[in-house]
Amino acid sequence: MSAEKPLYTFSFFQVLAGAMLTMTAVSMQFHFGEYVASVGYSVDVLGWITGIGVAGTILLRPHAGTWIDSVGCRPCFVAAAVGGAIANFSFQFATSFWSICAIRTLMSASHATFLTTVAVYAAHAASPQRRAESLGTVGIGGFMGMMIGPTVGDVIFATAAGADGTFPLFFNIVACVSLLAGLVVINVRVDAPERHADAPPFWALLRRHWPGRILTVCVAFAACLTIQMTFLERFAHHRGFEDIRWFFLAYGPTAIVLRILGRRVPQRFGRRRVCVTGLCIMGIGVLLFIPVRASWHLVFPAMLMGVGHAWIFPSMVDLVADAMPVEHRGLGTSVALGAMDVGFIFGGIAWGQLIAWVGFEATFVAAAVATCAVAVWYAIVARPPRRARGQDQTRLVGYGQSSRSSSASE
């Protein structure tokens, strides 16, 4: 039996810090709706801008995973951080619909590439049976960023409200945070599996190793997240308050504690069961937005949605990536996040249109029903994959785990 390689190294915590800074930049942009409103666009146009921005990211996905697998994590970290900084800096000069969409596309692609690289690093850094744990633990940095970003945004807009330089100050700070994420991981190295042959084309690999129904979970999960990432600030304004930090100050710690205490839940309880349970919890959390009347009321939906996010993401990404050969983990992770991009597009456009037509409350009901419906469907139709290939069985048995027990844990 081979010795299990150490997971929690200095490089691991550097990557966790990079994830924290990138998500700080991403979550500061949860105030993006305020900028869109300031240049004269409504909430449904905000949804279209978000959707178009993510659509550009999807075009990058077939190449991003291959680049990560080919050149390694460090160059992709740096390139993504620089691209994110340029995009965030450029927002202050954009006022037309298409210029905002173009910059949003660059920003989304850059941040998505950075976070994909974080996930690939976590997968390569861990032993096979601890990949979900590794993904979940490094994701703690992301939750920390989600606590910091909206709070910083609230402070900027509260202290500089009405000043002509508010948005330039805001976007310059976001750009600096994005660039700093690249600096903290600039010396990180990870030993990726060696390739024994040239990589087949993306679509050939995807057809050969199709992940299956779990991609629907990715779409539903991301569509549900769009509620808080795109429309929470507009919802708060609609209800008569501007402070959204309470949501993320509850969301982040809830998810972090659950990730730490339950880091081995996917291994013991089964990744598919974790995904089903997490989606249902997130659906219920969306419904708790309806009675919100003050900023501190956001704590209640935040706690449930934080639980769902903490449970779903590492298991969901690992299930998709696990369908790919080990030397193509970057491509597999990129496929998972690409499916999430589809969910962000759907959520941005669909929820934005519904809010414009029927209001926030009815939209929350629709989002909750859709999320829980996917959870029920996945629970009914999903089946553990057959461990048909000897290499998979050998890999699992090599770490002291039989293929039978592994399948049962799914």
Q: Which residues of 280-296 are buried (b: 16+ CB within 10 A; e: fewer)?
A: bbbbbbbbbbeebeebe
Q: Considering just the CA atoms, what is the radius of gyration of the chain in Å?
A: 20
Residue 392 has a CB neighbour count (10 Å cut-off) of 17
Query: How many residues would you count in the chain?
Result: 410
Query: From first to last of its 410 residues, what are the pLDDT tens digits of the chain?
Result: 445 667 788 888 999 999 999 999 998 988 888 888 888 888 889 989 988 888 877 777 767 666 776 777 888 899 999 999 999 999 989 889 999 999 999 998 898 889 888 877 887 777 777 776 777 788 888 889 988 988 898 888 888 666 567 889 999 999 999 999 999 998 887 655 444 445 566 667 777 778 888 899 999 999 999 999 889 988 998 998 878 889 988 998 998 888 888 767 777 778 888 899 999 999 999 999 999 999 999 999 999 999 999 889 888 888 887 777 766 666 777 788 888 989 999 999 999 999 999 999 999 999 999 999 999 999 988 765 554 334 333 333 332 333 333 333 34
What are 137's two structure tokens? 């633990």
Q: What is the pLDDT of residue 180?
A: 95
Is residue 22 within 8 A of residue 161, CB to CB? The reply is no
Q: How far apart are CA 205 and CA 167, in angstroms?
A: 44
Burial status of residue 163 (CB atoms within 10 A of its CB: 0-12, 13-18, 19 or more): exposed
CA angle 76, 79, 83 (to 5 degrees): 135
Q: What is the pLDDT of residue 199?
A: 55
What domains are there in the chain, each with its CATH number? 10-186+205-383 (1.20.1250.20)
Residue 148 has a CB neighbour count (10 Å cut-off) of 22
- CA dihedral for 396, 123, 269, 341, sign (positive or negative): negative
Task: Give the residue among 100, 126, 93, 90 at the shortest CA–CA distance from 33.
Answer: 100
Burial status of residue 208 (CB atoms within 10 A of its CB: 0-12, 13-18, 19 or more): exposed
Q: How far apart are CA 340 and CA 344, in angstroms?
A: 6
Is residue 112 within 8 A of residue 119, CB to CB? The reply is no
Q: How far apart are CA 302 and CA 146, in angstroms?
A: 12
92, HSE (Cβ side, Cα atoms, 13 Å) = 16
Is residue 254 within 8 A of residue 285, CB to CB? The reply is no
Task: Give the residue among 48, 188, 178, 167 at the shortest CA–CA distance from 117.
Answer: 188
Q: What is the pLDDT of residue 354?
A: 94
Is residue 236 within 8 A of residue 158, CB to CB? The reply is no
Q: What is the DSSP letter of 191?
A: -
Is residue 192 within 8 A of residue 16, CB to CB? The reply is no
Chain centroid to CA 314: 10
Q: What is the pLDDT of residue 313?
A: 87
Q: How far apart are CA 283 and CA 24, in angstroms?
A: 25
**Which DSSP string corresponds to 315-351?**
HHHHHHHTTS-GGGHHHHHHHHHHHHHHHHHHHHHHH
Q: At what angle do helices 299-321 and 271-287 cross, to 10 degrees?
A: 150
The residue behind tokens 């309880």 is 269
Q: How far apart are CA 233 and CA 239, in angstroms?
A: 10
Q: Please name the helix (run of DSSP H) or strand (run of DSSP E) that holds residue 20, with its range, or none.
A: helix 10-28
